[in-house]
Structure 1
Amino acid sequence: MDIKVQAMGDYQTNCYIVTIDDKNIIIDPGVDALRWIKNNVKNPIAVLNTHGHFDHVWSNQIVKETYNIKLYTPIDDEFMLEKDPYGMGMPPSTPDVLIQPDQEIEIEGIKIKFHHFPGHTPGCSAIQIGSHLFTGDFIFKGTIGRFDFPNSNATLMRRSLDKILKWTEDFHIYPGHGDKTTLKSEISTLKQWQSYIQG
């Protein structure tokens, strides 16, 4: 597996290209992502969203139309893609496949699971491909995503932390902003946030 990353736009949102067996999967194409994507893919097969915030989905439609590939989005965040709820001038996009919470799919022989971790957004998900976890704005290196935005929910974030802290397997974590880390490295931080939200 080869993983390329480029931070996009004012919010430096990570766009990922995951290549397996010469097939490219694009995760979270943010602001003006197409030019970078064009320079780094040969055989794109899908666009995946971790969640619906504008800085992660800005280039959804142009990327999927350029390559005639399907867009996969968590069902609970679909409304954000079509209605631009933050008024940022985001181009609307239409998912081809709406992903149910904790759904596992297969795209051209590649197994992908969307682990549902709501709190930052209703549909916020971490996308697992092998031992790699693309966490969007759920887990960052040294912290977690905000849960005080419109459509965020502190109670759901606490439940999501409860859920992932029960995991025993380690994962390489590729967040929506900043540097990569591992789940094992973030356990202490996640426990601190869990206690803070419960408190």
Structure 2
Amino acid sequence: MNIKSKAMGMYQTNCYIVSIEGKDFIIDPGVDATQWVMENVTNPVAILNTHGHFDHVWSNAELQKKLNIPLYTPKDDIPMLSSNDWVPDLPPSKPDFEVDGDAELFFDDVKVKFRHFPGHCPGCSTIEIGDAMFSGDFIFERSIGRCDFPYSSVEDMKDSLKRFKELDYDKKVYPGHGSSTTIKAEQKHIDYWIQSL
């Protein structure tokens, strides 16, 4: 498996291209991601959103059209893709598939696992492919997603963090902003974040 990443836009949102078994998966194509994605894919099969915030979904529609591939978005965040009061110039996009809660998707022999961790926003999810977890704005290196946005929930975040702490395996974590980390490294800090919320 090969992972390429580039920080996009003024919020430096990480867009990822995951290449595995001859297939390219595009995760969170943010602001101005289209050209970079087009230059770095050979067999794109899907666009995957960890959640619906504008800086993670900005280039969804443009890439859907240019690449003619389906978009997968967590169900609870779909309203954010087309009706966004705080970012009125967001290019609207419509998912081809609504991902409902925890879900396993199969692309031939490649398994893509969505794990629902609401709090930062209603649909906030991680995406696991192979030995990697793409955590969006749920977990960062030594930090967690903010819970003071519209549709955020402190209580949901606490519950999600408790469930994340219980994961009994380790994978490298690629967040929506900043540097990579691991599940085990961040589990050490979960009690602190729960108490801080």
Counting only pairs closer than 5 Å after superposition, residues 173-192 of structure 1 correspond to structure 2 as 173-192=173-192
Match of 1:62 in 2: 62
Maintained 8 Å contact 2:105/2:111: yes
Structure 1 SS opposite 2:188: helix
**Counterpart Cα distance in 2 of 1:85 and 1:98:** 22
Structure 2 SS opposite 1:76: helix
Counting only pairs closer than 5 Å after superposition, residues 1-199 of structure 1 correspond to structure 2 as 1-197=1-197
Maintained 8 Å contact 1:143/1:190: no
What letter corresponds to residue 153 of structure 1 in structure 2?
Answer: S
Maintained 8 Å contact 2:54/2:87: no
Maintained 8 Å contact 1:144/1:190: no
Maintained 8 Å contact 2:164/2:187: no
**Counterpart Cα distance in 2 of 1:149 and 1:41:** 33
Residue ranges of structure 1 left out of the alignment (5+ in a row): none
Structure 2 SS opposite 1:83: coil
In the TM superposition, residue 25 of structure 1 has moved relative to its aligned partner by 0.3
Dislocated runs of 4+, deviation >4 Å: none
What letter corresponds to residue 91 of structure 1 in structure 2?
Answer: P
Q: TM-score, normalised by structure 2?
A: 0.98
Structure 2 SS opposite 1:159: helix
Q: TM-score, normalised by structure 1?
A: 0.97
Cα deviations across residues 137-184 of structure 1 (Å, max 9, x unaligned)? 000001000011111000000000011111110111000000000011
Cα RMSD of the aligned pairs, angstroms, is 0.9
> Number of residue pairs matched?
197
Residue ranges of structure 2 left out of the alignment (5+ in a row): none
What letter corresponds to residue 20 of structure 2 in structure 1?
Answer: I
**Counterpart Cα distance in 2 of 1:189 and 1:138:** 14
**Counterpart Cα distance in 2 of 1:93 and 1:195:** 37
